[in-house]
Amino acid sequence: MTDVKDLYKYPEAVDAYGFDWGQLSVTLGPQANGAKQFSAAVVTVPPGQGHARHNHPGSEEIIFILKGEGEQMVEDENGNPHTETVRPGCTIFIPESRYHSTLNTGDGEMQIFVVYSPAGPEELLKELPDFHLIPAKG
């Protein structure tokens, strides 16, 4: 059973997944606090960086822009890319298995909140060649 204290998580309180393009801090999910139906993370992307075109087979994703400005690409059902400029307050729905990418085009850090349903895509990121663990700060 999950301790009620584990229901509250800050990004700096969990180990982050580091990559060449930024980092992802899983604050909710099976490993973080026992959530079964979905997982969530805070993604930080430095200026000029972004994650390349990819998908999450079998999972839908919600992307919510917290801070910064960038370009979000989502392919249509035929694989044609569609790119929009995004800023704080924008919610992007990524349909199941759909290819997408994000690029920080602003001068400052971009911060994004992501939700995966079902949970799991966040664990697959550990298999990427540029993955490294960043220990929690507190």
pTM: 0.93
Distance (Å, whole) CA 56 – CA 36: 17
With bands split at pLDDT 50, 70 and 90, how would you rate the model's confidence at 28? very high
Instruction: Calculate mean pLDDT across residues 30-38.
Output: 91
Per the listing, tokens 């990427």 go with 128
Q: Is the peptide bond before 135 cis (omega within 30 degrees of 0)?
A: no
- Does the pLDDT of residue 43 top 70, yes or no? yes
Q: What is the pLDDT of residue 138?
A: 66
**Domains detected in the chain:** 41-105 (2.60.120.10)
Task: Kindly tell me if the per-residue pLDDT of 1 is higher than 60.
Answer: no
Contact present, 114 and 27 (Cβ < 8 Å): no
